[in-house]
C-alpha cells in the first residue's frame, strides 16, 4: 500500500507521491510542471488532456494516479526530443491544423495513436478515432488536411520553408 | 508600395511550433510564483434580495473575502452603461451573479472557505424569457424592461405594401449559444503595493481579447490613472467574442482580491462555472412581413427584431445595432422598416459572440426568403439572385454600395460549384415520391449573406485607434498594437502586412505582446476589424517607417529620395543595392530606435447619423454564400451534415490557409448553433452546463468542406482586404434548415433544429 | 491519507474487498463525480490488474469476457465480434476512443446507469454475470442483476469477475443507439435485439432490450411475445412499434423528450423488423 508510484514518463523512470485518486492531469501539470496537457472540461468530454497510456490515447483527467504504477506515459512534451519537432507536429503548424492551440497537444497525441493503427487513414477513420478530441476553432477541415498532407494523400498548401523565426512574439 | 511578397502567402504561423510542442503558456500554465487563488460565490436565484451575508463560519485565518461593501463607489463593469455590478449589492438579477469573492493561499482552502460563507436570499418572481419580458418586469415597475432600441426607416413601407402582389409573414427564433472556447476564462492580478502595503495599482495577465477594455474597466473601478493599471494578454485558447466583455469582470474580481490580500491572485474557471456565469449569444425573435411582386422582387420589408439581453446592458445596444443593420439581408429593397429592441431578463447577461447580432437577423431573413420562394413556387436560389445587391444599390440606411459588392458573384459561384438548383429539384422530387425504406433523405440548402467590417457607423471615428511600428536597436521591426491573437492568426497576418508595407522580409518583423504599458490602443479585437482597420493602420505606420528610412538612405548616399526603393529587405538605388540591416544599423547608431505611428482616418465624405440611422454604416462589406448538404434519417430525424461549400469574398486574402481556417471554423460554429447546440434553462439556471450536455460538433459531426475564397478588393482596407472573422457565422444555420426542408419537407423557423423539434414539426407539415 | 490496493489476483483482493474499499476500474465516471463534488475516498482498490478479471476467451459453450476488459479490448478481440457483435457494436458507440480505451464492461455494469450502452446488448444476449468475493463466487443472469435505479445485486465486498455470453449466440443481433451527435453522445434510446435466424419468415427466441427509457435497462416482454413466431410483415412491424410506444415510460430530461424517445423507440423496432422482413423476401 505505497503512496509513491513509479512509472515511465516520456521515456524516463519517474516516481511521484500523492493521493491514489489524484488525477493524472493534475500530477502532470502541478507536480511535474508539464503544462502541455490542458484541462478543458474535467469530465473526459473534450480530450484536451489526452496523453498516451501504454500507447493508447486516454483522458488524463480520468486516470487516477495509483493506476499508472508500472505504466508508460507519453505527453506532448515527450513527442520528440528537446529542440526537435516531429513531422506530425510540423504539419499541424504549417497547414492550419492549429489555431488557438488549446486542443492541439491532445489532438496531436490522439492522431499519433491513430496513425499507429492506420498509417494512411481515411476521413471516416479519423472521424471515428478523433471524435473524442474537440476543436472549436478550425472546423476540423485543416486537421484532416494536415494528416492527409503528412500521409501523402494531399499536396501541402502551407509555405513550409518561409523564413519565420519561432517565438517571434516577444 | 504595392509589391506583395508576404501578403498572400500561407506562412508558418509564428506561434505554431510553440503550440504543437506544448510549450505555449496559457494562463493556467504560467508559473504561479506563490500567487493565491480566488473563487466566487454566486447566486442560486434568478431574482432575489440579498438579506444577509455572514462570514462568521469561515475559520481559516488567512482567507480574505470581498463583497459589494468592499468595492468602493464605482461598483460596475465599465462598458457602455454602468449598470453591471462587479459584485451584487443588495439584490441579484440572475443565477450565477457574483456575490462574494474568496481568496486563500491554495485553491482548496479558498473553496472550503467559500462553502462556509452563508448568504440569505429572499427570492422574487423572475422574468425568464422574451414572452415574460414582453409582459413586464418588476424592475421597471411592471412595464417591459427595454435595454436598447434601434430603428431604420427607408422609403415608404406602407406604399410598398400597397404595391405588393403577395405578402408573406414569418417569425423566426434563435436561442442562446455558448462560446465553448477550449480554454476557459483565467486571469492573474498582481498588486502594486506601496511601502505600507497600500494598493497603488495592479498588473493583469489574462486570457482576453481586449487589453484596453480591461484597462478602462479597472481605471474606472479603482479610480486610478492609466499608468497604475497594466494589462497583458497571455496566450489565449479561443475567444469568439466570449473574451471581449467578460474579462473585464473576472479581472475586476482578481484585482479586488489582490487588493484585499496584498498578494497576486489567480482566478481560473472550471467549465461548469464558465458556462453558468459568462456571457452568451443573445436569443432572438424576429418577425418579417414582406411585400413582393409575383416574380419574387422585393417591394417592402417590415422587420421587428427582438433580442434577450439578459440581466444587464453590457454590449446590447451595439449587438442590436448590428442585428438591425443586417436584418434586411444581402438584398435591395426600396422600402424597409426595421424596429429593434432589447429586453432584459433575469438570466446571465448576454454579450459579444462572433457575428454580434447579425447571425440572428440573417437567420431570419434567409428563412423568410425561403418562405417567399416556397410561397411563389420558385427556386430559393432564384429569388435570391433576383434581389441580391448589385453595385450602386442603396442599403436600408441609404448607403450606396459603391465598390466591392460580391453578392451575385458568391451566389453564382456557389450555384455552379454545387449544381445547386438541379440537386435541390431532384431532392424535392425524391421527397415527394419516397417510399418507406428507411433510407436517408438527402437535402441541399443555400444561404446568401453580408457582414460589415469594422465598428458600426461612427464607432471607428469615436475610437480613433492607433497602431505603431518601431525599428529597434536589435534591428527588428516591432509591431505595436492592442490586437490579440486567440487563434485567428493575428500575429502572422500583421507580420505579413508590415513586412510588405515596409519592404522588408518577414524575418525582420516581430509582434509585441499586447500590453497596455507598451502598445497603443488599436481598439478591441472584434467586429471583423483586425485586418481591415488595424492592419490598415499598421500598413500606414510601416510605410511611414520605410519612408523615413528611405530618406535616411538617400541622405547617406547622396541620392534623391525618390530614387531609393526598399523592397524584399534591400535598399536599391541607381548606385547599387544595400541590405536593409546595414542601413538600419547606421540609423539606429546615429538616432536610436525609430518609431512610426498611424491613427484611424475616417473615410472622407462618408458619414453616419446615429440619430436617424442614415448614412454609411460600414466602410466595407464581406459577402458569403453557403451550400449545406444533409442526410436526414426519416425514422429518427437525426441529421448528418455531409458536405459544406462556402464562398466568401474577403477583399484580399492575406494568408490563404488561415483565412480558410476562419471560414471553416466559423461556419461549423454556425452549423452547430443550427442543429446541435441547445441551452435549456430551468428557473433561470442553465441546464446544459457541461460539455457532456452542451453539444458542440465533434470531428465525427463535421462535413467535408470546400472553401472558395474570392477577392473583390475594397479601397478601405490594406491591399484591398476586408474582414473575415464574423462573416462565416452568418449563413450556416439558415442554409442547414433549408437543406433539412429540402430533404424532409419540414420547414423549421427556430433553431436548433434538433431531432425532437423535427419530430414535433413532422406531425404538422407546411400545407 | 487514503489507502490503495492494486492486487494481481482475487485472493490478494479479498482483504481490500472485505474492508469495503471502493472498486476502481476505468474510473471514467468515478473521477468526474469526485472532481465535481470534491468527494474523497478512504480506501481504493484497483481491479484492472486482477488476473481473473482479464482476458477474453471462448471455452466450450461460453464466451467469457473479463470484467476488466475495456471496450477497446472487446472491439479488437478476435472472439467478441465473431460471436457477439451486438456487444462490439455497442462498444463502438460508447464515448469516443479515449473513453473506450479505459472504460470497462465490468464498470459499465456496476455503474448501472440507465443509459449504459452495453447493457441492453447484455440483456439481449442473455448474459450471465460472474460475481466473486471473499465468500465465494456466483453467477447471476444479467436480467436479474438490476434491482432499481443505479442499484444492483452486488454486495460491497463483491466484484464482477467475468461476463459470460452463452454460445451459440443468437444468429440475429441488431444494435441501435440514438444520440444527438454522431459521437460522444449519451444515448436517448438504445436498443439491443437478438433472435434465431429467421425461419419461414418468422423469428424465434426473440429478445428485445432497451436502455434510456426506464430506471434500468429492460426487456420488453410484451413486444417480444408479439413478435415471437409471428410472420414478418409490414403489419407486424407497425403493431410492434405501436406496442413499444404503449409499454415504455420514457421521461423528459436535459437530453430529450418523452414524446421523441417514445416515437424513436417504436420507429427503431419497426425498421429493424422491416429490414429483416425485406431480407427474407428479397
Kind plus residue range of the DSSP H or E element containing C109: helix C105-111
* Mean pLDDT of all residues belonging to chain B: 96
Question: How many CB contacts within 8 angstroms connect chain A with chain B?
Answer: 229
Q: How far is CA B171 from CA B305, B306, B363, in A?
A: 10, 11, 11
Domains for chain B: give ranges and CATH numbers: 16-23+465-599 (3.30.365.10), 32-124+206-264 (3.90.1170.50), 284-457+610-760 (3.30.365.10)
Judge whether residue B56 has pLDDT over 50: yes
Measure A164 CA to nearest chain C CA, in Å.
35
Judge whether residue C59 has pLDDT over 60: yes
Measure C128 CA to nearest chain B CA, in Å.
31
Question: pLDDT confidence of B766, banded at 50, 70, 90?
Answer: very low
Any residues with CB less than 8 A from the CB of C183 and at least 6 apart, and which?
A127, A128, A131, A132, B698, B699, B700, B701, C93, C96
Residue among B272, B635, B756 whose CB faces C267 most closely:
B635
- Chains touching chain B, criterion 3+ CB pairs below 8 Å: A, C
DSSP B688-752: --STTTS----GGGPPEEEEEEE----TTSGGG----SSGGGSSHHHHHHHHHHHHHS----BS-
Judge whether residue B2 has pLDDT over 70: no
Residue B633: closest CA among B762, B767, B447: B762
Which residue of A lies nearest to C7 if distances are taken between CA atoms? A1
Q: To the nearest 10°, the Cα dihedral for B747, B750, B756, B760?
A: -50
A50, A37 contact by CB (below 8 A): yes
Q: To the nearest 10°, the Cα dihedral for A123, A129, A131, A137?
A: -60
B338, B151 contact by CB (below 8 A): yes
Measure A70 CA to nearest chain B CA, in Å.
25
Measure C99 CA to nearest chain A CA, in Å.
7
**HEC per residue, B682-704:** ECCEECCCCCCCCCCCCHHHCCE
Question: pLDDT confidence of A107, banded at 50, 70, 90?
Answer: very high
What's residue B765's pLDDT? 61
CA separation for the pair B70, B73 (Å, rounded):
9
Judge whether residue A44 has pLDDT over 80: yes
CA separation for the pair B735, B625 (Å, rounded):
9
Percent of chain B with pLDDT over 90: 95
Asked if A21 is an interface residue toward chain C (Cβ–Cβ < 8 A), one would say yes
Q: Which CATH architecture has domain A4-78?
A: Roll (3.10)
- pLDDT tens digits for range B732-749: 999 999 999 999 999 999
Q: Which CATH architecture has domain A87-150?
A: Orthogonal Bundle (1.10)
Q: Is A64 within 8 Å of C44 when comparing Cβ atoms?
A: yes
Q: Is A43 within 8 Å of B692 when comparing Cβ atoms?
A: yes
Asked if A141 is an interface residue toward chain C (Cβ–Cβ < 8 A), one would say no
- pLDDT tens digits for range C215-270: 999 999 999 999 999 999 999 999 999 999 999 999 999 999 999 999 999 999 99
Which residue of B lies nearest to C93 if distances are taken between CA atoms? B700
Residue position matching grid coordinates 454609411:
B616
**A-chain residues near B238 (CB < 8 A):** 100, 102, 136-137
Coil, helix or strand at residue C11: helix
User: Which own/partner pairs from A25-28 qualify as long-range (CB within 8 Å, at least 24 positions apart)?
Assistant: A25/A49, A25/A60, A25/A61, A25/A63, A27/A65, A28/A60, A28/A75
Q: What distance separates the 2 farthest-apart alpha carbons in chain A?
A: 56
Q: Is B636 within 8 Å of C182 when comparing Cβ atoms?
A: no
Q: To the nearest 10°, the Cα dihedral for B55, B59, B61, B67?
A: -20
Question: pLDDT confidence of B706, banded at 50, 70, 90?
Answer: very high
What's residue C1's pLDDT? 63
Mean pLDDT, rounded, for B419-442 = 92
Which residue of A lies nearest to C98 if distances are taken between CA atoms? A58
Q: How far is CA B24 from CA A36, A76, C89, in A?
A: 8, 12, 39
Neighbours of B513 (CB within 10 A): 17
Q: Which CATH architecture has domain C172-281?
A: 2-Layer Sandwich (3.30)
Residue among B636, B695, B701 whose CB faces C267 most closely:
B636
Asked if B580 is an interface residue toward chain A (Cβ–Cβ < 8 A), one would say no
Q: Is A101 within 8 Å of B507 when comparing Cβ atoms?
A: no
**C-chain residues near B700 (CB < 8 A):** 96, 181-184
Judge whether residue B504 has pLDDT over 70: yes
Question: What is the DSSP pairing of strand B594-599 with strand B466-471?
Answer: antiparallel
B629, B620 contact by CB (below 8 A): no
What's residue B101's pLDDT? 98
Name which of B4, B13, B16, B705 to mutate to probe chain A: the one with the most chain A Cβ atoms within 10 A of its Cβ. Answer: B16
CA separation for the pair B696, B693 (Å, rounded):
9
Judge whether residue B457 has pLDDT over 90: no
> Interior CA angle at B420 toward B416 and B422, to 5°?
105
DSSP B201-248: EEEEEES-S-HHHHHHHHHHHHT--GGGEEEEEPB-S--TTTTTSHHH
Judge whether residue B416 has pLDDT over 70: yes
Coil, helix or strand at residue B41: strand
CA separation for the pair A33, C138 (Å, rounded):
47
Q: Is C182 within 8 Å of B635 when comparing Cβ atoms?
A: no
| 3-state helix vs strand vs coil in chain A, percent to 5 | 35, 15, 50
DSSP state of C232: P
Judge whether residue B133 has pLDDT over 70: yes
Looking at chain A, the domain(s) classified CATH 3.10.20.30 span: 4-78
Looking at chain A, the domain(s) classified CATH 1.10.150.120 span: 87-150
**C-chain residues near A53 (CB < 8 A):** 101-102
Question: pLDDT confidence of A160, banded at 50, 70, 90?
Answer: low
What's residue B418's pLDDT? 98
**A-chain residues near B14 (CB < 8 A):** 164-169
Q: What are the cell numbers at B37?
A: 487563488
Which of B578-582, C183-187, C241-245 has the least mean pLDDT? C183-187
CA separation for the pair C234, B206 (Å, rounded):
63
What's residue B605's pLDDT? 87
For the domain made up of C51-166, give the CATH fold: 3.30.465
Burial A62-77 (b: 16+ CB within 10 A, else e): bbbbbbbbeeebbbbb
Name which of C21, C41, C97 to mutate to probe chain A: the one with the most chain A Cβ atoms within 10 A of its Cβ. Answer: C97
Q: Is B696 within 8 Å of A134 when comparing Cβ atoms?
A: yes
Judge whether residue A165 has pLDDT over 50: no
Indicate the pTM of the whole model. 0.97
| 3-state helix vs strand vs coil in chain C, percent to 5 | 35, 25, 35
What's residue B1's pLDDT? 42
CA separation for the pair B641, B675 (Å, rounded):
10
CA separation for the pair B386, B365 (Å, rounded):
15
Which residue of B lies nearest to A138 if distances are taken between CA atoms? B665
Question: pLDDT confidence of A161, banded at 50, 70, 90?
Answer: low
What's residue A63's pLDDT? 98
Q: What are the cell numbers at B698?
A: 465533434
In chain A, residues 44-83 whose CB comes closer than 8 Å to chain B? 45-46, 48, 75-77, 79-80
Name which of B473, B513, B699, B708 to mutate to probe chain A: the one with the most chain A Cβ atoms within 10 A of its Cβ. Answer: B699
CA separation for the pair C7, C43 (Å, rounded):
13
**C-chain residues near A30 (CB < 8 A):** none
Residues of C with CB under 8 A from a CB of B: 36, 38, 96, 178, 180-186, 254-257, 259-260, 263-264, 267-268, 270-271, 274-275
Torsion region of A138: left, alpha or beta (phi above 0 gives left; psi -120 to 50 gives alpha): alpha
**B-chain residues near A79 (CB < 8 A):** 21
- pLDDT tens digits for range B59-81: 999 999 999 999 999 999 999 99
**Packed helices B420-432 and B380-387: angle between N→C axes, nearest 10 degrees:** 140
Percent of chain B with pLDDT over 70: 99
Kind plus residue range of the DSSP H or E element containing B321: helix B316-326
Coil, helix or strand at residue A2: coil
Asked if C185 is an interface residue toward chain A (Cβ–Cβ < 8 A), one would say no
**A-chain residues near B700 (CB < 8 A):** 127-128, 131
Mean pLDDT, rounded, for B540-554 = 96
Q: Is A43 within 8 Å of C27 when comparing Cβ atoms?
A: no
**C-chain residues near B754 (CB < 8 A):** 180
Measure C78 CA to nearest chain B CA, in Å.
26
- pLDDT tens digits for range A3-33: 899 999 999 999 999 999 999 999 999 999 9
- pLDDT tens digits for range B379-410: 999 999 999 999 999 999 999 999 999 999 99
The domain spans of chain C are 51-166, 172-281
**A-chain residues near C95 (CB < 8 A):** 44, 132
Q: What are the cell numbers at B674?
A: 443550427
Residue among C184, C260, C275 whose CB faces B755 most closely:
C260
Which residue of A lies nearest to B510 if distances are taken between CA atoms? A168
Measure B166 CA to nearest chain A CA, in Å.
40
What's residue B548's pLDDT? 96
Coil, helix or strand at residue B45: coil
Judge whether residue A129 has pLDDT over 70: yes
What's residue C261's pLDDT? 97
In B394-531, beta strands by DSSP E = 441-453, 466-471, 477-480, 509-511
> Interior CA angle at B37 toward B32 and B43, to 5°?
150
Amino acid at each position: 500500500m505505497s503512496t509513491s508510484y513509479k512509472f515511465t514518463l516520456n521515456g524516463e523512470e519517474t516516481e511521484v507521491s500523492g493521493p491514489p485518486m489524484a488525477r493524472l492531469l493534475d500530477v502532470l501539470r502541478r507536480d511535474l510542471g508539464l503544462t502541455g496537457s490542458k484541462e478543458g472540461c474535467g469530465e473526459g468530454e473534450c480530450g484536451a488532456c489526452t496523453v498516451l497510456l501504454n500507447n493508447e490515447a486516454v483522458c488524463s483527467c480520468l486516470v487516477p494516479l495509483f493506476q499508472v504504477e508500472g505504466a508508460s506515459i507519453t505527453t506532448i512534451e515527450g513527442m520528440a526530443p528537446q529542440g526537435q519537432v516531429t513531422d506530425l507536429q510540423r504539419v499541424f503548424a504549417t497547414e492550419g491544423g492549429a489555431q488557438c492551440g488549446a486542443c492541439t497537444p491532445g489532438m496531436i497525441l490522439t492522431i499519433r495513436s491513430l496513425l499507429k493503427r492506420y498509417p494512411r487513414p481515411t476521413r471516416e477513420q479519423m472521424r471515428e478515432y478523433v471524435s473524442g478530441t474537440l476543436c472549436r476553432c478550425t472546423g476540423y477541415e485543416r486537421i484532416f488536411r494536415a494528416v492527409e498532407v503528412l500521409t501523402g494523400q494531399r499536396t501541402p498548401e502551407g509555405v513550409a520553408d518561409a523564413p519565420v523565426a519561432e517565438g517571434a512574439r516577444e | 508600395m504595392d509589391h506583395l511578397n508576404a501578403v498572400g502567402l500561407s506562412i508558418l504561423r509564428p506561434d505554431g511550433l510553440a503550440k504543437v510542442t506544448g510549450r505555449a503558456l496559457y494562463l493556467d500554465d504560467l508559473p504561479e510564483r506563490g500567487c493565491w487563488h480566488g473563487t466566487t460565490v454566486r447566486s442560486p436565484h434568478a431574482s432575489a434580495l440579498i438579506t444577509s451575508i455572514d462570514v462568521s463560519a469561515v475559520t481559516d485565518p488567512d482567507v480574505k473575502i470581498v463583497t459589494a461593501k468592499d468595492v468602493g463607489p464605482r461598483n460596475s463593469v465599465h462598458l457602455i452603461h454602468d449598470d453591471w455590478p462587479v459584485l451584487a449589492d443588495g439584490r441579484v438579477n440572475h443565477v450565477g451573479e457574483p456575490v462574494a469573492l474568496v481568496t486563500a493561499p491554495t485553491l482548496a482552502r479558498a473553496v472550503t472557505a467559500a462553502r462556509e460563507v452563508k448568504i440569505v436570499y429572499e427570492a422574487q418572481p423572475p422574468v425568464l424569457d422574451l414572452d415574460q419580458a414582453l409582459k413586464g418586469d418588476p424592475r421597471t415597475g411592471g412595464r417591459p424592461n427595454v435595454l436598447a432600441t434601434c430603428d431604420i426607416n427607408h422609403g415608404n413601407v406602407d406604399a410598398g405594401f400597397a404595391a405588393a402582389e403577395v405578402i408573406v409573414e414569418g417569425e423566426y427564433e434563435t436561442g442562446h449559444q455558448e462560446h465553448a472556447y477550449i480554454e476557459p476564462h483565467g486571469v492573474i492580478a498582481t498588486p502594486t503595493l506601496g511601502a505600507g502595503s497600500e494598493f497603488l495599482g495592479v498588473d493583469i495577465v489574462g486570457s482576453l481579447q481586449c487589453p484596453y477594455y480591461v484597462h478602462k474597466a479597472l481605471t474606472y473601478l479603482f479610480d486610478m490613472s492609466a499608468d497604475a493599471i497594466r494589462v497583458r494578454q497571455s496566450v489565449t485558447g479561443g475567444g469568439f467574442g466570449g473574451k471581449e466583455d467578460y474579462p473585464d469582470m473576472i479581472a475586476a474580481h482578481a484585482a479586488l482580491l489582490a487588493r484585499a490580500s496584498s498578494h497576486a491572485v489567480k482566478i481560473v474557471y472550471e467549465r461548469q462555472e464558465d458556462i453558468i456565469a459568462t456571457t452568451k449569444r443573445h436569443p432572438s425573435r424576429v418577425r418579417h412581413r414582406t411585400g413582393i411582386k409575383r416574380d419574387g422582387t422585393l417591394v417592402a420589408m417590415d422587420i421587428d427584431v427582438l433580442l434577450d439581453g439578459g440581466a444587464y446592458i453590457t454590449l446590447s445596444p451595439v449587438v442590436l445595432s448590428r442585428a438591425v443593420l443586417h436584418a434586411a439581408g444581402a438584398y435591395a429593397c426600396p422600402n424597409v422598416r426595421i424596429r429593434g429592441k432589447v429586453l432584459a431578463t433575469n438570466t446571465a447577461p448576454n454579450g459579444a459572440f462572433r457575428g454580434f447580432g447579425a447571425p440572428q437577423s440573417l437567420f431570419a431573413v434567409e428563412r423568410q426568403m425561403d418562405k417567399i420562394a416556397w410561397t411563389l413556387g420558385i427556386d430559393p436560389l432564384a429569388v435570391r439572385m433576383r434581389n441580391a445587391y448589385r453595385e450602386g444599390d442603396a442599403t436600408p440606411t441609404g448607403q450606396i454600395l459603391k465598390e466591392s459588392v460580391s453578392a451575385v458573384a458568391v451566389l453564382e459561384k456557389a450555384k455552379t460549384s454545387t449544381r445547386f438548383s438541379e440537386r435541390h429539384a431532384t431532392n424535392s422530387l425524391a421527397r415527394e415520391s419516397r417510399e418507406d425504406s428507411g433510407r436517408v433523405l438527402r437535402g441541399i440548402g443555400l444561404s446568401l449573406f453580408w457582414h460589415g467590417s469594422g465598428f458600426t457607423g461612427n464607432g471607428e471615428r469615436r475610437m480613433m485607434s492607433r497602431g505603431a511600428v518601431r525599428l529597434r536597436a536589435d534591428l527588428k521591426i516591432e509591431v505595436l498594437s492592442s490586437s490579440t491573437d486567440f487563434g485567428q492568426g493575428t500575429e502572422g497576418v500583421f507580420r505579413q502586412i508590415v513586412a510588405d508595407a515596409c519592404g522588408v522580409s518577414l524575418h525582420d518583423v516581430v509582434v509585441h505582446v499586447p500590453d497596455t504599458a507598451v502598445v497603443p490602443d488599436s481598439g478591441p479585437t472584434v467586429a471583423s476589424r483586425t485586418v481591415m482597420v488595424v492592419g490598415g493602420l499598421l500598413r500606414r505606420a510601416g510605410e511611414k517607417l520605410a519612408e523615413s528610412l528611405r530618406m535616411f538612405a538617400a541622405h547617406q548616399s547622396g541620392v534623391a529620395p525618390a530614387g531609393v526603393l526598399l523592397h524584399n529587405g534591400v535598399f536599391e538605388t541607381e548606385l547599387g543595392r544595400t541590405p536593409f540591416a546595414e542601413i538600419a544599423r547606421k540609423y539606429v547608431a546615429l538616432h536610436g530606435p525609430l518609431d512610426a505611428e498611424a491613427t484611424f482616418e475616417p473615410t472622407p465624405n462618408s458619414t453616419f447619423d446615429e440619430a436617424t440611422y442614415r448614412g454609411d454604416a460600414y466602410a466595407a462589406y464581406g459577402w458569403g454564400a453557403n451550400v449545406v448538404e444533409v442526410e436526414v434519417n426519416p425514422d429518427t430525424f437525426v441529421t448528418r451534415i455531409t458536405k459544406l461549400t462556402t464562398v466568401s469574398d474577403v477583399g484580399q486574402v492575406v494568408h490563404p490557409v488561415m483565412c480558410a481556417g476562419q471560414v471553416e471554423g466559423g461556419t461549423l460554429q454556425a452549423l452547430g448553433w443550427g442543429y446541435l447546440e441547445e441551452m435549456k434553462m430551468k428557473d433561470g439556471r442553465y441546464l446544459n452546463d457541461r460539455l457532456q450536455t452542451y453539444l458542440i460538433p465533434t470531428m465525427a459531426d463535421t462535413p467535408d468542406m470546400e472553401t472558395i475564397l474570392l477577392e473583390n478588393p475594397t479601397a478601405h482596407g490594406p491591399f484591398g482586404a476586408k474582414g473575415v472573422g464574423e462573416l462565416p457565422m452568418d449563413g450556416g444555420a439558415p442554409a442547414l434548415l433549408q437543406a433539412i426542408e429540402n430533404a424532409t419537407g419540414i420547414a423549421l423557423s427556430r433553431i436548433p433544429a434538433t431531432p425532437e423539434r423535427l419530430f414535433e414539426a413532422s406531425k404538422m407539415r407546411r400545407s | 491519507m487514503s489507502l490503495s490496493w492494486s492486487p494481481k489476483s482475487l485472493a490478494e483482493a479479498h482483504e481490500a474487498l472485505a474492508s469495503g474499499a471502493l472498486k476502481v476500474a476505468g474510473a471514467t465516471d468515478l473521477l468526474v463525480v469526485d472532481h465535481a463534488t470534491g468527494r474523497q475516498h478512504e480506501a481504493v482498490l484497483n481491479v484492472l490488474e486482477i488476473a481473473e478479471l482479464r482476458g477474453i476467451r471462448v471455452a466450450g459453450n461460453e464466451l467469457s469476457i473479463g470484467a476488466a476488459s475495456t471496450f477497446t479490448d472487446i472491439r479488437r478481440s478476435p472472439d467478441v465480434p465473431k460471436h457477439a457483435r451486438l456487444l462490439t457494436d455497442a462498444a463502438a458507440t460508447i464515448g469516443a476512443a479515449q473513453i473506450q480505451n479505459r472504460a470497462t464492461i465490468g464498470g459499465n455494469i456496476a455503474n448501472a446507469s440507465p443509459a449504459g450502452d452495453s447493457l441492453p446488448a447484455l440483456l439481449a444476449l442473455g448474459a450471465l454475470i460472474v460475481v466473486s468475493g471473499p465468500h465465494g463466487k456466483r453467477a447471476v443472469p444479467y436480467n436479474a442483476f438490476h434491482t432499481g435505479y443505479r442499484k444492483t445485486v452486488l454486495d460491497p465486498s463483491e466484484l464482477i469477475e467475468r461476463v459470460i455470453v452463452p454460445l451459440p449466440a443468437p444468429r440475429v443481433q441488431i444494435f441501435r443507439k440514438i444520440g444527438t451527435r454522431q459521437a460522444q453522445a449519451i444515448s436517448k434510446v438504445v436498443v439491443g435485439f437478438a433472435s434465431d435466424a429467421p425461419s419461414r419468415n418468422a423469428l424465434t427466441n426473440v429478445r428485445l432490450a432497451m436502455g434510456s427509457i426506464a430506471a434500468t435497462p429492460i426487456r420488453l416482454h410484451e413486444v417480444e411475445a408479439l413478435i415471437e413466431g409471428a410472420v414478418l410483415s409490414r403489419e407486424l412491424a407497425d403493431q410492434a412499434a405501436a406496442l413499444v410506444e404503449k409499454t415504455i415510460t420514457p421521461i423528459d430530461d436535459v437530453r430529450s423528450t418523452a414524446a421523441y424517445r417514445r416515437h424513436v423507440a417504436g420507429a427503431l423496432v419497426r425498421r429493424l423488423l422491416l429490414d429483416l422482413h425485406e431480407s427474407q423476401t428479397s
